[in-house]
Amino acid sequence: MKLSLNKILFKSDATGRKRLWTKLATLIKNGVPIKSALTTLHSRRIQIGKGGAPDAIALSHWLQRINNGSSIAGCTKGWVTDEEQMLLSAGEKSGDILKSLEAMCRIMTAKASIKGAVIGGVAYPIFIVLMLFGFMYLFGYKLIPSFLNLAPVEKFSGFGYLIARASIVTQYALLPFMAFCIAAIAVFMLSLPRWNGEFRIKLDGFKPYSIYRIIQGSSWLISFSALVKSGVRIEDGLEQMAKLANPWLKIRLLACLKGLKSGLTVGDALLRAGHNFPDREIVDDLIIYSSLNGFEDSLESLGNEWIESSEKIISSQMKVIFNILLVIAIIMIAMMVAGMIDMQTQMKDLLQQRH
């Protein structure tokens, strides 16, 4: 039970794993055998009082497995992601584990950058939506009902009447609407890695689905380039990645693999698949590079360049979503404030008429 918990904790800590891979790569680069490098890292964790930390437990477990004849790829199974497992296995087969470790660090850095861009882009729209719901609750449940306690809805006219009616609707509909929004978001998130079909291909060209395509495409490209760079055949790399991919990505990789087996290059295979994956411009670049010598180097360079451009694309697209939500929020809040002012004015007239 304790071992399983440490596996989960270690596997979920991308930053900690990257730090470990970086240290291991540095030691190997300086001529330290991998077993000695793992022993050194484990000893250091114990010396600083971190012997019970998930990474120290992982190192201890790996060393035990290696002493029993296991490979580094075999002993890390269950502790790391499938992608890292695949790269470690490729590094061992090619005899260059250092290259695989460096590739893993690059991939993790790239994914962290993309993740940061997405989180940074999503945070502001979420704040705007929560703020809007907060104002709707304040006006619908607190402020407007205080006016309606003094005079019925029918006594108001014009914009004040509309806001009063909206307040009543809000009291009945706000919570169900919020529940619907949460459910819709959940369904949307579940559909991203699972939903396929012709209509999905069309939607992948528009936000927010295009953002998911960019994230998946850039991650795939940098991982694929690392595998090929590690000595894995292109077809074998695609097959391995397809086995581990979610349904959405799997369809695209298998379509590319089918084209490769019929004699096409990677770029031509992706073009013929018709998914516009990872991106139409990237496909054109791959068509050019696929026919040249040193495709592995070109693929790595293309992957690194697209990671950088993906961050900018995601940030700009999230800004568009933020600006749209901001405009909607400003309009709705302005309408609520204007309606309340109109109700105040009418309320004064009603009170004067009573006196």
221 within 8 A of 241, measured Cβ to Cβ: no
- Determine phi and psi for 25, rounding to 5 degrees: -65, -40
**Residue 98, exposed/middle/buried by CB under 10 A (0-12, 13-18, 19+)?**
middle
What is the pLDDT at residue 355?
Answer: 58
What does the DSSP assignment read for 182-206? HHHHHHHHHHTTT--SHHHHHHTTS
Whole-angstrom distance, CA of residue 16 vs CA of residue 338:
52
- Entry pTM: 0.77
What is the pLDDT at residue 164?
Answer: 82
Among candidate residues 235, 144, 249, the one with its CA nearest the CA of residue 195: 249
Name the token pair of 120. Answer: 């940074």
Look up tokens 């009170």; give the residue: 351
What lies within 8 Å, CB to CB, of 343 at 6+ separation is 144, 147, 156, 160, 163, 164
Name the token pair of 325. Answer: 């939500």
Return the sign of the alpha-carbon dihedral for residues 121, 307, 184, 201: positive
**What SS3 string covers 306-322?**
HHHHHHHHHHHHHHHHH
What is the pLDDT at residue 192?
Answer: 92
- Taking 3-state DSSP, the helix, strand and coil percentages for the chain, each rounded to the nearest 5, stand at 85, 0, 15
Name the token pair of 221. Answer: 């490209």
The 3-state DSSP class for residue 303 equals: helix
Whole-angstrom distance, CA of residue 50 vs CA of residue 53:
5
Q: HSE (CB half, 13 Å, CA atoms) of 46?
A: 10
Q: Which residues of 328-340 are buried (b: 16+ CB within 10 A; e: fewer)?
A: ebeeeeeebeebb
- Predicted confidence (pLDDT) per residue in 113-160, tens digit: 878 877 877 888 888 888 888 888 888 888 888 777 777 777 778 877
Whole-angstrom distance, CA of residue 325 vs CA of residue 303:
32
Q: In the chain, which residues have pLDDT < 70? A: 1, 354-355
- Predicted confidence (pLDDT) per residue in 167-197, tens digit: 888 888 888 888 998 999 899 999 999 999 8
What is the pLDDT at residue 125?
Answer: 83
